[in-house]
Amino acid sequence: MVCVVMLLGILGGRVTYLQVIRGERNRQLADNNRIRLVPKPPERGRILDRNGKILATSRLSHGVYLWPIAQPPSQWQPVLLRLSRLLNISVQDLTAKLEREGYNSPMLVRVSTGLKPKQVTLLMEHSPELPGVRVEPESVRYYPDRELMAHVLGYTGEITESELTQRRKSAKNLPREKSYRLGDIVGKMGAEAAFESQLRGQWGGEQVEVDALGKVIRVLGQKLPQPGSTVQLTLDRELQKAAAQILGDRRGGIVALNPQNGEVLAMVSYPAYDPNIFSGRVSAAMWDQLQSSGRPFLNRTLQVYPPPVLSK
């Protein structure tokens, strides 16, 4: 009886400690495990020519995200191995992205974008084997004129670790929805980079209730993401086409200016590249092919370059 009384006393004291003394703290921890924030990226703003014709916009696609907090760190490795085989992405790259964000982070970590319908179907079929992996609809950059505006518009891509560190330092006083995070899509060259602050928009998110397995039960609230602003350039799309036809397949550049105010009406450089390829995952072979096709990233209207060597 003495032992029973002592055990009951210990249990009673422990219950009192957990519910009374530490009650508020434990309730907060329970809410953090039950309620999670799912961030939603914004749609990037459009780029128009002087007459309002679309030069860069967004199209619907799908991306693959990891939800770090969905399961313990020890259970992620087999999931990443399976995902690596399905997406043809190395396990090291997947692990590095997950570790940079942190296993306790409620933020979604993008690991692939611009999925093809076949890939989306494949991932959905294997979803029971991929806890913590989510396939989400998203908007990706689309350039309807392809190579025509490449050097003026530039292209977008996923932010690198060095870029993330630099941008976080320069925007350390901004609120969370305006700051940069892992997986953000940013302008890399041209107008996309020059007007990054206007085009990127603000993140939104959903507050969801999940069960013990991390599955969403219901949406408790949401803040809609704010799309980026529209940027209108002085370029004339039809004049740009005419300049490209005049230049043809000759290496060089053509610039047309308004003599009254200096507005750039056309800016063409050849050879060029299709910026749409950067809306998805660029393989090493594709990158090598681009680099070996006459230096297409060199803007010959702005940068000095050596003349071609003529054969005798």
Q: Quick one: 216 and 242 in the same domain?
A: no
Asked, for residue 269, whether it belongs to a domain, the answer is yes
Asked, for residue 30, whether it belongs to a domain, the answer is no
**Count of domains forming the chain:** 2
Range of the domain at 59: 36-232
User: Residue 98 is part of a domain; what is its CATH number?
Assistant: 3.90.1310.10
Local confidence pLDDT in tens for the 312 residues of the chain: 888 878 887 887 776 766 666 666 555 545 545 666 667 778 889 999 999 999 999 888 888 888 887 778 888 888 888 888 888 888 888 888 888 878 777 677 888 877 888 888 888 888 888 888 888 888 889 999 999 999 999 999 888 878 877 777 766 655 554 677 777 888 888 999 999 989 988 877 777 776 655 556 666 777 788 889 999 999 999 999 999 999 988 888 999 999 999 999 999 999 888 898 887 767 667 777 777 677 888 888 887 666 665 555
Q: Quick one: 163 and 221 in the same domain?
A: yes
Q: Quick one: 220 and 256 in the same domain?
A: no
What residues contact 242, with CB distance under 8 A and at least 6 apart?
266
Distance CA 106, CA 126 (A): 23
Q: In the Cβ-directed half-sphere of 16, how many Cα atoms lie within 13 Å? A: 6
What residues contact 162, with CB distance under 8 A and at least 6 apart?
none
Q: Quick one: 162 and 74 in the same domain?
A: yes
Q: Can you tell me whether residue 151 is helix, strand or coil?
A: helix
Q: Quick one: 225 and 115 in the same domain?
A: yes
Q: Quick one: 53 and 136 in the same domain?
A: yes
